[in-house]
Amino acid sequence: MAFRFFIFAILAITIASFGSASDPSQLQDFCVAINDSKAAVFVNGKICKNPTDVDAGDFFLSAGLNKPGNTSNQLGSAVSAVTVDTLPGLNTLGISLARIDFAPNGVVPPHTHPRASEVLVLLKGTLYVGF
């Protein structure tokens, strides 16, 4: 019985040593999006800015998330989205940001995030969330 267990353990270790899993390697560390059809690198649906021309401003958003949205609408909510169009440095990173302001009893309609996750941070009040 011990011999069978030993053979099974050796076989399992041998098979497991051939397995590997990892994320695919990225083509580059970052790809700051620009609206220039003459750029050479095209990744993720956007054209990449020349890495030598990239500066800190491409990764900084000065306005947008610090100001509350207008919640006087039918839903009682306002979404301020930050995407690659407003913050070019987000391109190819697979993330976006949003600030959602709610009036009392405000709602966000049911929606999905294909191939994405959602993280909620509540600063004030109570929020009921269903998944």
pLDDT tens, N- to C-terminus, the chain (131 residues): 788 888 988 988 888 877 776 666 655 667 888 876 665 566 666 788 888 888 888 888 766 678 888 999 999 999 888 888 888 888 877 777 888 899 999 998 888 877 777 888 888 888 888 76
**Do 41 and 30 touch, CB atoms closer than 8 A?**
no
| φ, ψ of residue 43 in degrees (nearest 5) | -130, 135
Distance from C-alpha of 6 to C-alpha of 4, rounded to nearest angstrom: 5
| Burial readout 56-92 (b: 16 or more C-beta within 10 A, e: otherwise) | eebeeeeeeeeeeeeeeeeeebbebebebeebbbbbb
| Fold held by 24-102 | Jelly Rolls (2.60.120)
Note the pLDDT of residue 44.
63
Of the candidates 24, 83, 91, the one whose C-alpha atom is nearest the C-alpha of residue 51 is: 91
Give the pTM: 0.60
Residue 111, annotated as binding a ligand: yes
Sign of CA dihedral 82, 85, 88, 90: positive
Residue 62, annotated as binding a ligand: no
Q: Which helix (H) or strand (E) holds 13?
A: helix 2-18
Note the pLDDT of residue 27.
58
Note the pLDDT of residue 73.
93
